[in-house]
Amino acid sequence: MFETVEEVWDRQTLLAAYEVMRRLRIDRFAGVVSAGKEARVYRAIGRRGEEYAVKIYLTVTAEFRKSIQKYLLGDPRFRNVDTSNTKKLFFAWARKEFRNLKRMYEAGVRVPRPYLVYQNIIVMEFIGRGGLRAPTLREAYRELEPGELEELAWEALRQYRRILCCAGLVHADFSEYNLLYLDGKLYVIDVAQAVSLEHPNAEDFLRHDIWNIHRFFAREAGIGLPGPEELLGWVRRCSEEECPGERGRRAQQLVEASQES
Ligand SMILES: Nc1ncnc2c1ncn2[C@@H]1O[C@H](COP(=O)(O)OP(=O)(O)O)[C@@H](O)[C@H]1O
Ligand SMILES: [Mg+2]
């Protein structure tokens, strides 16, 4: 059942993984998709052959501690987290990622569908084919035609506008490394550090993200794009048709307020 599971799992994580498997009727873990500094991502298979991506937070790094300061505590949704307890930090971080994912998904952003969060474990839709994960845009872009890359640049900006105007969030780590490419489409991933527009540094994170999109598509991939300042204006031009409902209205008020200041 845990053929591919390594010694990095502690007892509590193992028990949590069993609980996740029970709840979603997952049959087995079928390989490590990615071993990052803090989290590992696994592919898992359900009883009817459905695929899941399972992200498990396992290691506390110095950067992780910094991220907690920078992205968690400033967010009004997570003000009351006890930072002295490492386990609790993990759980809060996983919960934050899941909530961001859910909020983006409900706002119509193309992200993996969120299924469940339990302790330090997040389960979402697996983006890939034939058991293989989709490549990141970083890995895929050299094989793509300039025309397609130009479309993808605007697609990335459109997805960003939804994150901002419809979900009321700023991604805060938006780059070619956190976009998966499948069937000509981009999927936004890695949303743990995304913050609400009410975060005191939301504006800085937003600028940084848009500068990143510009750096990658214009400088690195050589696509003709307006300058970053203009792209920022484009992303902020929210429209009510694109994201109706209460959350959309609220997000758009915040975007407008941030432009005035
Ligand atoms: N839902 C998913 N479907 C398929 N692969 C995924 C999924 N989520 C993450 N991955 C893979 O795992 C890698 C790391 O995931 P990410 O969320 O970016 O974590 P990290 O914090 O380690 O950067 C991604 O680059 C991608 O290759
Ligand atoms: Mg990543």
Query: What pLDDT score was predicted for residue 3?
Result: 54
Q: How far is the CA of 171 from the centre of ligand 1 (A)?
A: 15
Query: What pLDDT score was predicted for residue 6?
Result: 59
Please check whether residues 251 and 140 belong to one and the same domain: yes
The rounded distance, in Å, linking the Cα atoms of 106 and 97 is 14
Query: What pLDDT score was predicted for residue 227?
Result: 98
Q: Identify which has the larger pLDDT, 249 or 54.
A: 54
70-82 pLDDT, tens digit each: 888 878 888 788 8
Q: Establish whether residue 36 lines the binding site of ligand 1, counting it when its CB lies within 6 angstroms of any ligand atom.
A: yes
Please check whether residues 16 and 100 belong to one and the same domain: yes
Count of structural domains within the chain: 2
- CATH code at position 145: 1.10.510.10
Token pair of 132 as six digits: 């293989």
The predicted model gives 37-46 an average pLDDT of 95
Write the DSSP assignment of 218-230 as a string of letters: IIIS------HHH
Query: What pLDDT score was predicted for residue 77?
Result: 81
Token pair of 96 as six digits: 């934050």
In a domain, 3, yes or no: no
Q: Chain-wide mean pLDDT for the chain? A: 93
Which residues on neighbouring strands pair with residue 54, listed in sequence order? Answer: 42, 123
Q: Which domain holds residue 71?
A: 11-129
55-65 pLDDT, tens digit each: 999 988 888 88
Where a domain ends, among 91, 114, 129?
Answer: 129
Contact call for residues 205 and 170 (beta carbons, < 8 A): yes
* Ligand positioned closest to the Cα atom of 134: 1
Please check whether residues 181 and 212 belong to one and the same domain: yes
What does pTM read for this prediction? Answer: 0.94
In a domain, 5, yes or no: no
Coil vs helix vs strand at 94: helix
pLDDT over 70 (residue 156): yes
Note residues around ion ligand 2 (Cβ under 5 angstroms).
178, 190
Please check whether residues 173 and 247 belong to one and the same domain: yes
Q: How far is the CA of 178 from the centre of ligand 2 (A)?
A: 5
Q: State which ligand 1 atom lies nearest to the alpha carbon of 41.
A: 12
Contact call for residues 172 and 209 (beta carbons, < 8 A): yes
Q: Which long-range contacts (CB under 8 A, 24 or more apart) does 112-117 make?
A: 112/53, 112/187, 112/189, 115/24, 115/52, 116/20, 116/23, 116/24
Nearest CA to ligand 1 atom 16: 190
> Helix 146-165 to helix 245-260 angle, to the nearest 10 degrees?
100
Active site residues: 173, 190
Among the ranges given (104-113, 135-144, 223-232, 249-258), the one the predictor scored with the smallest mean pLDDT: 249-258
Where a domain ends, among 129, 147, 173?
Answer: 129
Please check whether residues 34 and 149 belong to one and the same domain: no
Please check whether residues 111 and 22 belong to one and the same domain: yes
In a domain, 118, yes or no: yes
Nearest CA to ligand 1 atom 10: 41
Please check whether residues 181 and 144 belong to one and the same domain: yes
Please check whether residues 222 and 239 belong to one and the same domain: yes
Please check whether residues 153 and 103 belong to one and the same domain: no
Q: Establish whether residue 124 lines the binding site of ligand 1, counting it when its CB lies within 6 angstroms of any ligand atom.
A: yes
| DSSP H stretches of helix in the chain | 11-24, 62-67, 86-106, 137-140, 146-165, 202-214, 228-236, 245-260
Which residues on neighbouring strands pair with residue 55, listed in sequence order? Answer: 41, 122
Query: What pLDDT score was predicted for residue 261?
Result: 62
10-34 pLDDT, tens digit each: 899 999 999 999 999 999 999 999 9
Q: State which ligand 1 atom lies nearest to the alpha carbon of 177.
A: 25
pLDDT over 60 (residue 4): no
In a domain, 1, yes or no: no
Nearest CA to ligand 1 atom 17: 190
Where a domain ends, among 129, 157, 177?
Answer: 129
Query: What pLDDT score was predicted for residue 247?
Result: 83
Q: Establish whether residue 53 lines the binding site of ligand 1, counting it when its CB lies within 6 angstroms of any ligand atom.
A: yes
- CATH code at position 53: 3.30.200.20
Q: How far is the CA of 216 from the centre of ligand 2 (A)?
A: 16
In the block, which residue shows the tokens 């119509």?
108
In the chain, pLDDT over 90 holds for what percent of residues? 74
118-140 pLDDT, tens digit each: 999 999 999 999 999 999 999 99
Q: Establish whether residue 40 lines the binding site of ligand 1, counting it when its CB lies within 6 angstroms of any ligand atom.
A: no
Please check whether residues 141 and 255 belong to one and the same domain: yes
Please check whether residues 125 and 208 belong to one and the same domain: no
